[in-house]
Amino acid sequence: MFEQLLPYTPYLALLLRVVVGVTMVMHGYPKLKNPKQTIGWTKGLGVPVVATWLAIILEFFGGIALIIGLIVPIVAFFIMLEMIGNVSLKKTKMKSPYIAGQNPAAYEIDITYLLLAVTLIVLGAGIFSIDALLGL
C-alpha cells in the first residue's frame, strides 16, 4: 500500500514543509513583533530569556527556512526539541491536563508538531527545495 505513495513523496515532503513552515511563521511573527510580552510570560514560568529568544528565532526564521527548503532536517530537529520542551513545560509548570479544546495550555498541538518535525527529519527537504539544489 505504501509503495503506491513513493512516487508522491517529493510532493508530500513539499506540502508538509510548507504547512509546518507557514504555521511556525504564524506562531513566531507575533512573538518577534512583541518579544517583551512573550519573554514576560515565559520568564514567569521559569524559562530563561535566551531560550525564549531561541524559540522566537526558530519559529519565525526556521519557518521561513522550511518553506523554502533550506537545512530542513536541522530546523526540524530543533523544532522537535522545542516541542519536547513545550510539552514538558506544560505538564510540569502549567500542570496541564489533557482536555482538548478546553484548556489553553493543552499540549496536543505540540505533540502534533513534534511528530511532523520527526517526519521532516526522516523525509528531508525533498527535491523541490534549496537543499536539493545545493546537494545537501
> Which class for 55: exposed (0-12), middle (13-18), buried (19 or more C-beta within 10 A)?
buried
C-alpha grid cell, residue 61:
526564521
User: Does residue 106 come out as left (phi exceeding 0), alpha (psi in the -120 to 50 range) or beta?
Assistant: beta
Q: Between 56 and 105, whose confidence is greater? A: 56
19-75 tens-digit pLDDT: 999 999 999 999 999 999 989 888 888 889 999 999 999 999 999 999 999 999 999
At residue 5, does pLDDT exceed 70?
Answer: no
Q: Quick one: what percent of the chain has pLDDT higher than 70?
A: 86
At residue 83, does pLDDT exceed 80?
Answer: yes
Smallest CA-to-CA distance from 70 within 132, 6, 1 is with: 132
At residue 122, does pLDDT exceed 80?
Answer: yes
C-alpha grid cell, residue 112:
502534533
pLDDT score of 105: 57
Query: Can you tell me which residue has the cell 520568564?
Result: 43
